Chain A
Amino acid sequence: MSIQGQLNQEQIAWRAAQDIEDGAYVNLGIGFPEKVAAYTIDGREPIFHTENGVLGFGRAPEKGEEDWDLINAGKKAITLKPGAAFFDHATSFAMIRGGHLDVAILGALQVASNGDIANWRVGDKGVPAVGGAMDLVNGAKRVAVLTDHVTRDGKPKLVEACTFPLTGVGCVTRVYTSLAVIDVDIANARFVVLEKLPHLSMDDLQSVTGAKLHVEGDVGALQVPELS
């Protein structure tokens, strides 16, 4: 099935940003999840954490203004906001594992209905690299995933059981996809649809999802502004 009007990455990031509360401590994964910062809601002030020991960083510096001692986990130059703090790596991961982060937002290869996530390795070829992903999925109060609903060749990314190597078990609490917002009921291993694109039927959504979708009460309309 080809799907019209799927959300692009900016729109998925915008939708995830709507759920970040004022004062929340937030870690955004490298790449796609970093886009969430740009859609912070006026009047809310989330505090962004990066694994390499900074709380309270802001936008990227202008080109030529980089200080390479001041980078994020993606090794990109950052700037500080007033009230920022530095700390060593053990303290940084105490924040993560100790349950002090309100939300970690990551990308994923697959998410299973029991909350398992695979996002660090496709197979056993090449050089494996894990970084902080396995710590983040086990520590933050909320673990949210941003992803296209299906792979480039149309395979479901929301599945009954992950086939790629796991990053963590029973940890993802919400998935923001190009078609829907879906909660993970980890205890009962169920995907629960919160919102879907208005023109999409539940049958359409189910047909591109690799595990049974559940509904509790009303399914909201997933409505986002035009962004590119």
Chain B
Amino acid sequence: MNKRFATAAEAVADIFDGATVMIGGFGGSGAPIELIHALIDAGPKNLTVVNNNAGNGHVGLAAMIEQGMVKKLICSFPKSKDPKAFTDRYLADEIELELVPQGTLAERIRAGGAGIPAFYTPTAYGTELGETKPTAEFDGKPYVQERWLKADFALVKAELGDPYGNLTYRLAARNFNPLMATAAGKTIAQVSRLVEAGGIDPEAVVTPGIFVNRLVEVENPQQEEVLNQAEARYP
């Protein structure tokens, strides 16, 4: 078995118009910048993107939005230091936003990966983000029903990967990545170092390879904050 792809371009080549794409990361931490930029080069349109944020500056997800590739964004916090790419399109009604509380977003993705179609959470009860959803009482407390979230593709960033797709993550760059890896038809991981089978201690594996379809090694990956400090733009 070898899930390795030689280039990011090959790994994302079949992401089609209208696809739902989960993109890992929290702000720039854990954002798979090289996979996103390869997707910009490929240029599919009308995508629904699931991410915690809405990009920052003019690279990564912000650049995808600037290129007009994103029809709908599902996120919790579409603000950043430089949110212009999203804000302009949102205010011009050129992009749809589904705003989801952060913990609900995480749990919807987890549920999607775990085969749980719906669940109840206290989050958003009595607020405008919960008002159109079914509610129920459990042990005397009200809860909101939320549905699973699944995607056609997930783009994730990991630290180590092996040919079986087992992954580890670096510092707080883990965040949404392991959840999204479970919830997509095809999970594509960029790893900073691809090691031989046995090169990752099985006790240290965070995402087991069953959840990962494709691996691309990207040594010294770019970091959104560093690119933004240099006022980088993509393409």
Q: Is B174 an interface residue (CB 8 A)?
A: yes
Partner pick for B171 among A86, A96, A116, A134, CB 8 A cutoff: A86
Q: Is B91 an interface residue (CB 8 A)?
A: yes
What is B's interface to A at a CB cutoff of 8 Å? 26-30, 52, 76-81, 83, 86-87, 90-91, 97, 99-107, 109-110, 121-129, 169-179, 206, 223-226
Chain A's interface: helix, strand, loop or mixed, by majority? loop
- Residues A166-208 near B (CB distance < 8 A): 166-169
Complex Cα–Cα for A75 and B27 (A): 7
Q: List B contacts of A139 (CB < 8 A).
A: 103, 122-123
Complex Cα–Cα for A131 and B29 (A): 16
Partner pick for A134 among B86, B91, B129, B169, CB 8 A cutoff: B129
Q: List B contacts of A68 (CB < 8 A).
A: 28-29, 223-226
Partner pick for A165 among B81, B103, B127, B177, CB 8 A cutoff: B127
Shortest Cβ gap from A22 to chain B (Å): 25
Given A68-B28, A70-B172, A135-B103, answer yes or no on A169-B179 (Cβ-Cβ < 8 Å): no
Instruction: Tell me how many residues of A have a C-beta within 8 Å of chain B.
Output: 39
Given A52-B29, A135-B103, A135-B104, answer yes or no on A71-B126 (Cβ-Cβ < 8 Å): no
When C-beta atoms are compared, the residue in chain A nearest to B105 turns out to be A89
- Residues A76-105 near B (CB distance < 8 A): 86-90, 92-93, 96-97
Q: List A contacts of B78 (CB < 8 A).
A: 127-129
Interface centre among B76, B79, B91, by most chain A C-beta atoms within 10 angstroms, is B76
Shortest Cβ gap from A193 to chain B (Å): 26
Q: Is A45 an interface residue (CB 8 A)?
A: no
Shortest Cβ gap from A224 to chain B (Å): 32
Given A71-B172, A135-B101, answer yes or no on A129-B77 (Cβ-Cβ < 8 Å): yes
Q: Mark A118-153, 1 if CB is under 8 A from B, else 0.
A: 000000001111111111001100000000000000
Complex Cα–Cα for A221 and B91 (A): 48
> Is B76 a contact of A131 with CB atoms below 8 Å?
yes
Given A68-B224, A97-B103, answer yes or no on A168-B171 (Cβ-Cβ < 8 Å): no
